[in-house]
Structure 1
Amino acid sequence: MLEKADTATVRDLETEDLPAVAGLFQKTFRGTASVPPSLLTYLHEILFDHPWYDQELRSKVFVAAHGQVRGFIGVFPARLEWEGRSLRAAFAGSMMVERPEEHPLAGARLLRAFLNGPQDLSLTETANATALGMWQKLSLPLDVAYSLNWLRILRPAAAAVNLMENAVSAARLLRPISQLADTAAEKLGLSVFHAPAAQASGRVRFQDAMMDEFVDAALTLKQEFPLRPQWDRHSLEWLLAHAAQKRRFGDPSWRVGISRDGEPVACYAYFGRPGGIGWLLQALCKPAAADDLVDDLFGHADGTGCAGIRGAGHPWLTPALITRRTIFHGRTFYLAHARDKTLLQPIQSGQALVSGLAGEKWMRLIGDRFD
């Protein structure tokens, strides 16, 4: 039986809703009804203990006529700055509706509740095809530059098995065969996928870094972007501490590029492990260092044995990625909305730092599991 629209409500999330939201998350994204305690703890941390928590920018729940939570959209606050102006922003993520055939308008109502909030900028970097359709019905187009997900293959057989495992877990049994195939191709000189050794340009020297050194570099390099997060050391360390827990793609590596005069001109953080496909969390650089950053990223991932490395849209890296055998594809979609359309200009021109650590992909809700 369909729920009548006027008998259901959309309201702000309360702490007592978290068990229902956790259960809905597990059913929707993990295919299980079991709710691990760690998920409840994590939800409270990112939804109520965020360093930029805003009482007016809370997540939304769809409550059916009988009072049960049947839908949810995560609202994650962000503080941005542009031309000396402080902006309130909010990212929408993890939208889910239980039994959507009974509540066909729930998703649209949750999205509208989010967009009608007090934020200056409404953003998402994780829209799937369904969510993209909802945004576009409101005449809100996707942003192509930040939606260009990419993949650089380093070991083709192992990369193919990794991709197969996303659909069929039993494909992991093929890992030993894929390793033999890639090793044989390398010995015979048949592999053209390995990243060439990074050429020493003389301009930038990359080195492994501790997390606090990465923080120092990121706080400096964020100034290269006209629209950027108002990170301070506390907020950035909080985000990185959460991101560092996200080990599905391997262990984190922090790299910083230093110029000849000793100043940081590039930095990046990625996760990777031998035989797996690594994942780039964040990359920042001065424009002249983009080629050096991409070369070092691919070379470092190759040297650690990754089958490949992938990432979401980093428009400032796109020219360098295009010229280095990188595959671009649609995986998730980036969308932005503002009542003041001038705020969208730096996003549309690819000059905004509004993804990764500056977005929502640092969260374990995206691509991680809870025990």
Structure 2
Amino acid sequence: MTPAAESALRKPVELSGPPAVEERARPHAGTVRAMERSDLPAIADLFTRTFRKNNRVTDSQLAGYLETVFFSSPFYTPDAGSIVHLNETSAIDSAILAMPVEFNVHGRTVTAKILCAFMAEGKTGAAGAARLARMMRAARQDFCFSDNASPVSADHWVAAGGLVLPVQSLEWHRTFRPAAAALNRACRKIKPLARLPLHGLARLADNFVRRSKRSFAAVAHDGITSAPLSLSQFMEQAQIMMQRFSVHPVFSKPEFDWLISAAKLNASLGELQCRSVLDAQGKKIGCYLYFGADGRNAMVMNVFCHERQEAAVIAQLFADLDNLGYVSAQGMAQPFLTQAVLRQRHLVHRHTGYFCLVTRHADLKAAASGDGFYAGGLASESWSRLLHDF
């Protein structure tokens, strides 16, 4: 979130009426409306100025990517999409980027809005940012959430009648090969390091470390195995295993296919892959989806399992990623998996952003406060290129 937007959120705001009514009452105060395709060049420039201050020019691919993510979903409608604020000169001075994802909420279908970026044009956009923030009040929304909110933004979500979910606001990080993992982190921060012949030395160091400290190797449970899974098979298994939650993504085929296609555009994370976990009798007890690049980090997007199979599925997941040669793995913390994940050695939890939600539905809010809520991975913005490049 831009500093101007954060500043606007610190100011007390009152619930306003629909934008059209407000504009008739105050014709010169600016306009709040749904984002249109013709806005994309201006939005791309605003995003770059807000979040990529070192970039002198906007990436030529950014506007096209924004169109794919925020306009091409099978469930996109102007009401479920992004909103912008136009100042007195009809220029966009602030915006909230949002994309729709269908959720099952206690048996009924609700279109949730994932808020992906809140940005404003410096101090001049603060008033517009405040007006956009008013539109996100819980009384107005069926279901809005973000899994990457800043501290100030998280405070605003709570003030607007929403929730901050502490477990989902954490990421777990498991290390398999410490020297190579440290080198990969250093190369991301210091680009010239990637051109030096250091990876061979890291492998030698890791071979020594893993022989002397065997706990770096992940161990599966006896009798548990896994097998590659097609994306369509993963969708089918996920739909069955998510039934344990009263609130969960629908993952209908049109939307699932769209999410997969959009996620695959983020080539920097590696290849999108999935596996099924089986017990000793060959019964499917879990499945997981992850991005992985050879010899680098694996980003686990979604993990599903039947009840009381959490420990076996998580142990197999880490054993698989270790055996496939990844140096480390990471993923969103989930309440139902916490106990199983904590059994792992060389694992830490890190906070990178708050998971926040607002809703006017009491049953959805109650589920989010308990154990009946599942979101994240494909049903979040964690796969978006807006977080990783541009």
TM-score normalised by the shorter chain: which range applies? Answer: 0.7 to 0.9
In 2, Cα distance between equivalents of 1:46 and 1:56:
16
Q: Does 1:143 align with 2:172?
A: no
Alignment check: 8 A CA contact 2:277 2:316 kept:
no
Q: Which residue among 168, 176, 180 is the counterpart of 1:158?
A: 180
The answer for the alignment partner of 2:383 in structure 1 is: 362
| Alignment: residue pair count | 363
The answer for the alignment partner of 2:19 in structure 1 is: none
Deviation per CA, 1:253-279: give whole Å up to 9, x if none.
211123456553211111122442221
Alignment check: 8 A CA contact 1:152 1:308 kept:
yes
In 2, Cα distance between equivalents of 1:187 and 1:155:
10
Distance 1:162 1:109, change over 3 A: farther
The answer for the alignment partner of 1:10 in structure 2 is: 32
Structure 2 residues not aligned, in runs of 5+ = 9-25
Amino acid at match of 1:284: F
Q: Indicate the larger mover: 24-33 or 71-80.
A: 24-33
Q: Does 1:46 align with 2:66?
A: no
The 5 A counterparts of 1:307-346 are 307-325=327-345, 326-346=347-367
In 1, Cα distance between equivalents of 2:387 and 2:286:
26
The answer for the alignment partner of 2:234 in structure 1 is: 214
Structure 1 residues not aligned, in runs of 5+ = none
In 2, Cα distance between equivalents of 1:332 and 1:311:
13
**Aligned with 2:364: secondary structure?**
helix
Displacement of 1:141? 4.1
In 2, Cα distance between equivalents of 1:130 and 1:190:
45
Amino acid at match of 1:338: T
The answer for the alignment partner of 2:13 in structure 1 is: none
The 5 A counterparts of 1:111-190 are 111-115=133-137, 118-138=140-160, 140-172=162-194, 176-177=197-198, 179-187=200-208, 189-190=211-212
Deviation per CA, 1:217-247: give whole Å up to 9, x if none.
2222222221112222221121112212222
Q: Indicate the larger mover: 156-165 or 205-214.
A: 156-165
Q: Does 1:353 align with 2:384?
A: no
**Aligned with 1:292: secondary structure?**
helix
Amino acid at match of 1:278: A
Alignment check: 8 A CA contact 1:79 1:88 kept:
yes
The answer for the alignment partner of 2:97 in structure 1 is: 74
In 2, Cα distance between equivalents of 1:192 and 1:182:
15
Displacement of 1:179? 4.7
Amino acid at match of 1:102: T
The answer for the alignment partner of 1:282 in structure 2 is: 302
Deviation per CA, 1:48-106: give whole Å up to 9, x if none.
2211113322211122332221222112222222332232322211112232x333344
In 2, Cα distance between equivalents of 1:75 and 1:185:
42
In 2, Cα distance between equivalents of 1:296 and 1:16:
48
Distance 1:49 1:177, change over 3 A: closer
The answer for the alignment partner of 1:108 in structure 2 is: 130
The answer for the alignment partner of 1:301 in structure 2 is: 321
Distance 1:168 1:229, change over 3 A: same
Distance 1:112 1:165, change over 3 A: farther
The answer for the alignment partner of 2:289 in structure 1 is: 269
Amino acid at match of 2:121: E
Displacement of 1:136? 3.9
Taking structure 2 as the reference length, the TM-score comes to 0.83
In 1, Cα distance between equivalents of 2:344 and 2:96:
37
Distance 1:131 1:85, change over 3 A: same
Alignment check: 8 A CA contact 1:227 1:346 kept:
yes
Displacement of 1:295? 1.7
Distance 1:82 1:36, change over 3 A: same
In 2, Cα distance between equivalents of 1:69 and 1:154:
47
Amino acid at match of 2:270: G
**Aligned with 2:340: secondary structure?**
helix
Displacement of 1:36? 4.2
Deviation per CA, 1:6-29: give whole Å up to 9, x if none.
744332211111111112223333
Distance 1:327 1:90, change over 3 A: same
The answer for the alignment partner of 1:258 in structure 2 is: 278
Alignment check: 8 A CA contact 2:157 2:358 kept:
no
In 1, Cα distance between equivalents of 2:292 and 2:78:
37
Alignment check: 8 A CA contact 1:12 1:59 kept:
yes
Alignment check: 8 A CA contact 2:179 2:206 kept:
no
Distance 1:94 1:206, change over 3 A: same
Q: Does 1:236 align with 2:256?
A: yes
Distance 1:106 1:172, change over 3 A: farther
